[in-house]
Structure 1
Amino acid sequence: MILKEKIYFTPAQSERGLHIYLPDDYQTSDKRYPVMYYFDGHNLFFDSDATYGKSWGLKTFLDHYNKEFIVVGLECSHVGNERLVEYCPYHYQGKFWGDLHGRGKETLDWMVNTLKPMIDARFPTYAHREATGLCGSSMGGLMALYGVIAHNDIFSKAGCLSSAIGPGIKNLCADIEGHAIDANTRVYLSIGEKEASSLPVKNIYATVMARSAKKVTKLLEEKGVETAIYIQKNGKHCEADWEKQNKLYFDYLWCNKKSF
């Protein structure tokens, strides 16, 4: 079942939507469930809720997957460039994002200190780090990666699809080197062959993404972290192609199975 509700998002002093997937029998069974926290929660389950009319189809996938989960999707702001601000953990000045004062660190702090305790109190979760992961795409993928680095005592897994890590690569690398990261951590990164396919520099863009992903995985692996990079053939920067990866990253993060 999908539960939709509002929650007060302190960093922006406004409400945000929550889209929560719950196993159908969660109220009648004595089971507990691992939890995945997603960014852009409105894009996860139903095409009717998705920004561009296509979701990740995650409800259909989870209904038939061989493990049961609770999924918590945090909706972003839909006003101007507020999503970019909320989902960037760094201050940045350059051609790619302009002059951006990111508040992603505040977003992650709020998730750790407010959202996760609320979810653990209301629902039958496994609350320990080994049963808690993050996932997102584009800026959400950047946030998932940052979150598993900066809050590694809380999150042990990150699915980072088509992640916007290039412009912040120096900061990310510094964070990896500066944080204690448990070797019992798994990170999945993906890149589509046709990222930014509408741009004349599309091949350069995908190349930069791949180069940044390799830098990140090298540093993580030096700390004992298990990583995987998936290059999606003909993959574009869109929900339809991220949907195709649902089984790949769930298998890798939760079943220790690399099916690509």
Structure 2
Amino acid sequence: MEAQVKASTRTPNVTVLTDSFSIPQLNRERRVWLYLPNDYATSQRRYPVLYLQDGQNMFDEATSFVGEWGVDETLSQLQQSGQDQGCIVVAVDNDGQRRLDEYSPWRNEKLGGGEGDAYVDFLVKTLKPYIDANYRTLPGREHTGIAGSSMGALISLYGGLKYQDVFSKVGLFSPAFWFAQQPLFAFVKAAKIRQSTRFYFVAGAQEGPTMVPLMAAMRDSLCQVGAAQKDISYQVRPDGKHSEWFWRREFSAAYQWLYAPKRQWWQPHRLFRTQK
């Protein structure tokens, strides 16, 4: 019996930039997706950019693992309703078998890893220059973010801290900090916060015994190395699971907080709040 082919759910705002974007740092190729704002073709405006991991899960049910995030529908609706001015999204597929290798700079003895540094270098030194050269971006760090879920969150945090001159917004959905706990926390301690950066944490209370404690510890570690309390949003959802449906639901709130104008940024009553 043949497997049923899922219908595509991506909107016209989304295209596949290429199925074979070169990653010279790793000597391999990858599919890269591009979302353009509703008015991109009819305006001369420049737009902020968000770089996402696990690209096959961001826009299209047909390519997703167990469901897509609906990033295109969410951003298009926010712009159409006047709640957002528009954002370019660049999403890079994971490699499947080598996902764990690429999404951690450090090796886990049982599971792999160790290629994350080269992967982040690709995002910053190869992919971003191409996007900035070919699309109307706002290339400065104040308009550039990086985000992901699980292992994609781990590598997003690493990239955001390694390249603080490039990224000012980091979205962390159910981060898999357990994968490289000791070297990651040591890296954060050494990296320090050199420039104002927003961090959005979100996870579910039902994601396992280490998820929330490690996320809280990372929030505290960032504060200890210079992150301002107003620059961190920390959310624990009682019903949250380690799943695409959960991250899809939470994406809009995360995006709006990370990309809000500075005058709307600080909501003191939400800082460090854990929902019960």
**TM-score normalised by length of structure 2:** 0.83
1:65-214 equivalent positions in 2, closer than 5 A: 65=78, 66-67=83-84, 68-78=86-96, 80=97, 82-93=98-109, 98=110, 100-195=112-207, 205=208, 207-214=209-216
Shift of 1:183: 4.4
Q: Relative to 1, partners in 2 of residues 1:11 and 1:183: Cα closer, same or farther, differing over 3 Å?
A: closer
Q: Match of 2:74, as an amino acid?
A: F
Shift of 1:101: 3.9
Q: Match of 1:108, as an amino acid?
A: V
Q: Match of 1:83, as an amino acid?
A: R
> Is 1:30 aligned to 2:44, yes or no?
yes
Q: Pick from 215, 223, 228 the counterpart of residue 233 of structure 2.
A: 228
Shift of 1:228: 2.1
Query: Which residue of 1 is the match for residue 258 of structure 2?
Result: 253
**TM-score normalised by length of structure 1:** 0.88
> Contact (CA 8 Å) 2:206, 2:240: kept in 1 or not?
yes
> Contact (CA 8 Å) 1:108, 1:147: kept in 2 or not?
yes
Q: Relative to 1, partners in 2 of residues 1:101 and 1:48: Cα closer, same or farther, differing over 3 Å?
A: closer
Q: Match of 1:72, as an amino acid?
A: V
- Structure 1 residues 49-79: Cα deviation after superposition (integer angstroms, max 9, x where no partner): 2122x1001111000112210000000112x
Aligned partners of 1:239, 1:246: CA distance in 2, in Å?
10
Query: Which residue of 1 is the match for residue 248 of structure 2?
Result: 243
Aligned residues between the structures = 243
Aligned partners of 1:244, 1:115: CA distance in 2, in Å?
28
Aligned partners of 1:237, 1:64: CA distance in 2, in Å?
25
Aligned partners of 2:108, 2:56: CA distance in 1, in Å?
27
CA-atom RMSD in angstroms: 1.6
Structure 1 segments (4+ residues) deviating >4 Å: 257-260
Q: Percent identity?
A: 32
> Contact (CA 8 Å) 1:251, 1:257: kept in 2 or not?
no
> Contact (CA 8 Å) 1:150, 1:175: kept in 2 or not?
no
- Secondary structure of the 1:127 match is coil
Shift of 1:10: 2.0
- Structure 1 residues 149-206: Cα deviation after superposition (integer angstroms, max 9, x where no partner): 11111111111101101232222222122124234101111111222xxxxxxxxx2x
Query: Which residue of 2 is the match for residue 19 of structure 1?
Result: 33
Query: Which residue of 2 is the match for residue 40 of structure 1?
Result: 54
- Secondary structure of the 2:138 match is coil
